[in-house]
């Protein structure tokens, strides 16, 4: 739609052309909707608009590009890694394949774009500024929200109710505060403004949003976050001012505002009218009553926009995530070797397909599968392919190819049969040496018979070298979940949020992929519980951290007892058994001395213990005694350095000892 000019004559002369263009556009849209699945929409629509003359080459090139209808592909993206534990095998060996997939549904990939639309004249100027500045305050606060993780930009348009013109006073910018200076409307002391001639403002808003999408490279399937805040007042169809009917354009204004509402994700409307009659027209614009307010009510628009943005912070719920692995016919899946167990195992002449499916998972976290395969008897290079299927809550999907798993078979398991006769040459030499040995043996026996064995002391010094390839650890993260952990830190997060974030970072440093390291999660307050037993699955550990609930009291002896219990007794696995205990308070209801005694028993059983204390209200002497060494007690004033503390602890965990335990 074109902007309305300054004369009615120009408006009438353009009306016929615009109507014809609208009819043509509507027909093209219908053709695309019907013929899109056939791949012919662009050809027919172009012919109708008179802008496209296809030839044979263009037809053949255009059809594949339109094979998938727009709007059916989710904006969620997927990434994956594939690791083959042993890449070179013999014919009798097996190897493990580890696949990790992660799905990311971006929050507002094109940023949050908010367009303010102000009239030149209003009756209640103070109310308009109060609502507008309240919205700007919300946007400034949200721009500092670390969980939102997207840009917020604003633009300001001012429109003229009398003539329909519109001017962009502030182009889209991430300087949110600049919108305050652009709110320079004037107070109307006469008749209230016309409800009409909003067309120019709608066109300007659509252009701003279109340019923002093009700059961000957004496609039809990408999620958008475009909002408009419109201030408008006016009468209904029967409105009069100074004897003139000024309500004749009410229907036109409502149509323009409806067009604006369809162009953005949310349209918020405020009416700064002097009395109820001044807002009679705007009340019929919004399709959502929550998005409309009028003077003298205050604070409705800021609260509504804040609620809209808050909803963006919550992660998208996916309908389904599926990992598929396709084995060639000659490669055998080792039954019952997968973790987790695949939901589908299909064998055919083309090979074996394995499928793992997660129903309605959250976006955060990693989906990991591992399984073993056996190679064929023939040498050669073998490839396992795979894909990741994502289906979102709107049933839109995306298929992401995975990096193939490649391994080689370069040798049989047994040497050739022709090599076995070589030892038969040995018996021929033995008889020639036999006669000469008795005299020597007799002389030796008579010489040594008169001597008695004497003790011999040989000094020896041995040390263990910690080879990184041998480093393996079983680590139990024991985390205080008392109510005091909900107190805020200087950075704004709670102590519990800081502790969980540092724990996630620490888990990321463990060698879980190769299975050398494992971790467990234990939380404690009035008691203690194992939230997640020992595992090398990062997704399970992060889910356990997210499920920790708080309660009153801080039972430190419970933390040590259950932490040791979580380590278990594994006589086969050689690893450094480690506890990392984090707390912010004094032990209750049981005394800290019991925790010291339980820790002494654990250390005697070769358990390595680190302790971390947050704040000032601590049993410092007990935490030092619980730790394996005094230097293994760390203190954090405000939880701000927990990442660094966990990193240092990670560097102090040694290789497992090969000397017998005491």
β-bridge mates for residue 153, sequence order: 113
pLDDT, tens digit (0-9, with 9 covering 90-100), for 8-48: 333 333 334 444 444 333 333 333 333 333 333 333 333 33
Q: Count the Cβ atoms, other than its own, within 10 Å of residue 456.
A: 5
pLDDT, tens digit (0-9, with 9 covering 90-100), for 239-273: 556 555 555 466 777 788 888 888 899 999 999 87
Q: Which two tokens stand for residue 380?
A: 């050669």
Global pTM reads 0.43
CA proximity to 308, closest of 546, 129, 172, 107 = 107
Q: Are 610 and 632 in contact (CB under 8 A)?
A: yes
pLDDT value, residue 592: 93
Determine the Cα–Cα distance for residues 338 and 142; give it in Å rounded to an integer: 44
Q: Is the pLDDT of residue 454 over 80?
A: no
Question: To which residue do tokens 């090979």 refer?
Answer: 351
pLDDT, tens digit (0-9, with 9 covering 90-100), for 580-595: 999 999 999 999 999 9
Sign of CA dihedral 49, 55, 60, 65: negative
pLDDT value, residue 413: 81
First to last CA, the chain: 85
Lowest model confidence (mean pLDDT) among 273-277, 562-566, 627-631: 273-277
pLDDT value, residue 159: 87
Half-sphere exposure for 175 (CA within 13 Å, toward CB): 7
CA angle 281, 284, 288 (to 5 degrees): 140
CA distances for 555 relative to 593, 619, 625, angstroms:
11, 12, 16
Lowest model confidence (mean pLDDT) among 323-337, 365-379, 465-479: 465-479
Q: Is the pLDDT of residue 54 over 90?
A: no
Helix (H) or strand (E) holding 447: helix 437-448
pLDDT value, residue 17: 41
Determine the Cα–Cα distance for residues 198 and 206; give it in Å rounded to an integer: 13
pLDDT, tens digit (0-9, with 9 covering 90-100), for 495-516: 999 999 999 999 988 888 777 8
Following DSSP, what letter does each residue of 361-377 receive, concatenated?
A: -BSSS-EEEEEEEE--S
pLDDT, tens digit (0-9, with 9 covering 90-100), for 345-394: 999 999 999 999 988 776 666 889 999 999 988 889 999 999 999 988 77
pLDDT value, residue 319: 84
What's the DSSP call for residue 443? H
What average pLDDT does range 75-89 have in this prediction?
89
pLDDT value, residue 481: 95
Tell me the helix, strand and coil percentages in the chain, rounded to 5. 35, 25, 35
- Top pLDDT among 248 and 308 is at 308
Following DSSP, what letter does each residue of 121-190 receive, concatenated?
A: EES-HHHHHHHHHHHHHHHHHHHT-TTT-S-EEEEEEEE-TTT--EEEEEEEES-TTHHHHH---EE--S
pLDDT value, residue 362: 66
Burial code of 197-226, b = ≥16 C-beta within 10 A, e = fewer? bbbbbbbbbbebbeebbeeeebeeebbbbb
SS3 assignment, position 309? helix
β-bridge mates for residue 104, sequence order: 77
Determine the Cα–Cα distance for residues 482 and 183; give it in Å rounded to an integer: 49
User: Are β-strands 225-231 and 240-241 bridged in parallel, bridged antiparallel, or unpaired?
Assistant: unpaired
Q: Which two tokens stand for residue 193?
A: 């403004």
């Amino acid at each position: 739609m074109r902007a309305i000019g300054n004369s009615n004559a120009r408006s009438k002369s353009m009306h016929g052309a615009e109507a014809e263009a609208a009819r043509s556009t509507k027909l093209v849209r219908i053709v695309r909707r019907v013929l899109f699945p056939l791949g012919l929409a662009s050809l027919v629509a172009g012919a109708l608009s008179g802008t496209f003359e296809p030839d044979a080459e263009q037809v053949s090139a255009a059809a594949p590009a339109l094979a998938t209808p727009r709007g059916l592909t989710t904006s969620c993206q997927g990434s994956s890694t594939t690791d083959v534990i042993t890449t070179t095998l013999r014919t009798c060996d097996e190897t493990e394949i580890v696949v990790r997939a992660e799905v990311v549904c971006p929050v507002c990939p094109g940023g949050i774009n908010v367009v303010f639309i102000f009239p030149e004249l209003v009756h209640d100027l103070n109310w308009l500024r109060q609502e507008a500045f309240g919205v700007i305050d919300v946007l400034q606060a949200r721009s500092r929200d670390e969980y939102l993780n997207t840009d917020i930009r604003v633009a300001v348009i001012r429109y003229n109710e009398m003539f329909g013109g519109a001017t962009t006073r502030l182009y889209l910018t991430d300087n949110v505060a600049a919108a305050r200076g652009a709110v320079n409307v004037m107070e109307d002391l006469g008749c209230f403004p016309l409800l009409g001639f909003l067309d120019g403002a709608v066109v300007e808003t659509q252009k701003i949003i279109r340019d923002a999408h093009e700059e961000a490279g957004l496609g039809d399937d990408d999620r958008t976050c475009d909002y408009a805040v419109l201030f408008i007042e006016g009468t209904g169809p029967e409105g009069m001012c100074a004897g003139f009917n000024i309500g004749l354009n009410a229907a036109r204004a409502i149509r323009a505002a409806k067009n604006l509402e369809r162009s953005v994700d949310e349209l918020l409307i405020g009416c700064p009218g002097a009395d109820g009659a001044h807002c009679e027209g705007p009340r019929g614009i919004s399709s959502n009553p929550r998005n409309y307010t009028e003077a003298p009510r205050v604070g409705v628009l800021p609260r509504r926009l804040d609620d809209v943005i808050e909803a963006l912070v919550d992660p998208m719920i996916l309908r389904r995530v599926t990992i598929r692995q396709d084995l060639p016919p000659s490669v055998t899946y080792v039954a019952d070797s997968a973790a987790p167990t695949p939901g589908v195992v299909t064998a055919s002449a083309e090979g074996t397909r394995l499928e793992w499916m997660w129903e309605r998972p959250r976006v955060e976290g990693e989906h990991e599968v591992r399984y073993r395969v056996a190679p064929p008897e023939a040498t050669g290079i073998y490839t396992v392919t795979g894909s990741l299927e994502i289906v979102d809550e709107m049933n839109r999907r995306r298929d992401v190819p995975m990096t193939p798993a490649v391994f080689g078979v370069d040798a049989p398991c047994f040497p050739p049969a022709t090599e076995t006769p070589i030892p038969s040459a040995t018996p021929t030499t033995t008889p020639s040496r036999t006669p000469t040995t008795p005299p020597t043996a007799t002389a030796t026996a008579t010489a040594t018979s008169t001597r008695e064995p004497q003790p011999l002391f040989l000094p020896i010094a041995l040390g263990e070298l910690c080879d990184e390839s041998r480093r393996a650890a079983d680590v139990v993260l024991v985390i205080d979940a008392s109510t005091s952990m909900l107190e805020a830190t200087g950075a704004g997060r709670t102590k519990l949020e800081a502790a969980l974030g540092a724990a996630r970072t620490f888990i990321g440093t463990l060698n879980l992929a190769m299975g050398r390291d494992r971790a467990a999660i234990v939380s404690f307050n009035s008691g203690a519980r194992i939230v997640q037993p020992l595992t090398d699955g990062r997704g399970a550990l992060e889910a356990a951290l997210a499920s920790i609930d708080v309660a009153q009291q801080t039972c430190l002896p419970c933390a040590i007892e259950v932490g040791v219990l979580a380590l278990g007794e594994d006589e086969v696995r050689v690893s450094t058994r480690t506890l990392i205990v984090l707390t912010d308070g004094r032990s209750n209801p049981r005394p800290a001395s019991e925790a010291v005694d339980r820790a002494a028993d654990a250390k005697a059983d070769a358990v390595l213990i680190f302790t971390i204390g947050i704040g000032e209200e601590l049993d410092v002497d007990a935490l030092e005694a619980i730790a394996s060494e005094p230097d293994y007690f760390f203190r954090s004033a405000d939880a701000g350095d927990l990442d660094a503390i966990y990193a240092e602890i990670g560097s102090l965990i040694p290789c497992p000892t090969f000397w017998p335990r005491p």
